Amino acid sequence: MQETDLAQLLRETFLVLLKLGGPVLAAGLVVGVVMSLVQAVTQINEPALAFVPKAAAIAGTLVLAGPFMLATLRDYTTLLFDRLIQVGGG
């Protein structure tokens, strides 16, 4: 395995990381900022008020993006196993 192959695998790993974690983190961030603004405007300092919508948004994002995430992870795992077979078997 060449250094370019390792660099390509590392690049692919980071792309998969962004595809799997990005939507969930973005949804949590957006809902968190909106809830913080609502709390600042209404001057209600209740931790549960921020947690429940954020948890619901993250759960909804996982439900909506779950098939995409599963397909991405399956494709990456297949790629890794194919590379392992190439290195070890051939």
* Predicted confidence (pLDDT) per residue in 13-28, tens digit: 999 999 999 999 999 9
Percentage with pLDDT > 70 across the chain: 97
Cα(26)–Cα(64) distance, rounded to whole angstroms?
A: 14
Check whether 59 has a pLDDT greater than 90.
yes
Reported pTM: 0.79
Give the total number of structural domains in the chain.
1
Domain residues for 73? 10-89
Residue 2 lies in a domain: no
Q: Average pLDDT, stretch 40-60? A: 90
* Alpha carbon of residue 64 to chain centroid: 13
Residue 29 lies in a domain: yes
